[in-house]
């Protein structure tokens, strides 16, 4: 199969833990924020590659609920980067027919950033070529806790029968309620952990942990990972054959 040909049997929804920006910068003698800017440029490349590779949904982990523990300089730099990224890419998203959504708890984010997120979602709501979901101030446990609170409120108000609650109920209250679950989760930089990302949604996802740092994650590497996924046999707990 040619290197440039799209993978067959690939996933429709890919989620990526974009790890390694800071180490990439430090290896070059630069501050960590230099790596985050390089990582943002890499996002554009991967977003552009998704449609031709058969990926309809891309979810990226941009900032976790735990990332607030980083230095104030890095956190402030990241928030400024998110604002610049949304402003810079918004028209490009519309032009490329990319629908943008954000998941996570927005309440801790600056009001101006929240407004930009709302504007990006509204401006791209008609787009259909790719669904890009950006996890910002997101944590899987936090998401489940917030969803459970909303579910409990509906039970208390009589809108939901507690006896009717099953494993199909909670997903309707998650941030990702309008999205399919990811078939493949990729983590870059050599770390082999899921870091509180899409805990409920990835119950049956395939995982790929690769050594490449996120700013070096090219379209060719992405294609190879998708092709490897296509060769896997997914059983969902059943015995096949």
Beta-carbon contacts of residue 126 (< 8 Å; ≥ 6 apart): 99
- Residue 4: active-site member: no
> What percent of the chain shows pLDDT beyond 70?
93
DSSP letter at 6 equals P
Q: What does the pLDDT read at residue 2?
A: 47
Tell me which of 56, 67, 181, 196 is the catalytic residue: 67
From CA 49, how far away is CA 44, in angstroms rounded? Answer: 9
- Residue 67: active-site member: yes
| 65-90 confidence digits (pLDDT tens) | 999 999 999 999 999 999 999 999 99
Q: Considering the entire predicted model, what is its pTM? A: 0.93
Tell me which of 19, 131, 137, 175 is the catalytic residue: 19
């Amino acid at each position: 199969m040619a290197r440039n040909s799209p993978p067959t049997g690939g996933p429709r929804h890919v989620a990526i833990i974009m790890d390694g920006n800071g180490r990439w910068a430090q290896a070059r003698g630069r501050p960590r924020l230099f790596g985050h800017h390089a990582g943002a440029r890499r996002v554009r490349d991967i977003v552009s590659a998704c449609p031709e590779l058969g990926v309809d949904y891309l979810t990226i982990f941009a900032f976790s609920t735990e990332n607030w523990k980083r230095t104030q300089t890095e956190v402030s730099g990241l928030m400024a980067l998110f604002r610049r990224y949304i402003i810079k890419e918004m028209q490009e998203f519309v032009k490329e027919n990319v629908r943008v959504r954000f998941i996570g708890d927005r309440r801790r984010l600056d009001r101006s950033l929240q407004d930009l997120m709302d504007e990006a979602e509204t401006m791209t709501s008609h787009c259909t070529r790719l669904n890009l979901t950006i996890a910002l101030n997101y944590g899987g446990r936090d998401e489940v806790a917030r969803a459970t609170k909303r579910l409990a409120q509906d039970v208390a108000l009589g809108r939901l029968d507690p006896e009717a609650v099953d494993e199909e109920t909670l997903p309707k209250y998650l941030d990702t309620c309008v999205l399919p679950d990811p078939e493949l989760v990729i983590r870059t930089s050599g770390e082999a952990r899921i870091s509180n990302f899409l805990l409920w949604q990835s119950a049956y996802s395939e995982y790929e942990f690769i050594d490449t740092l996120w700013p070096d994650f090219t379209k060719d590497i992405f294609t190879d990972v998708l092709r490897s996924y296509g060769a896997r046999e997914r059983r969902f707990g059943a015995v096949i054959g």
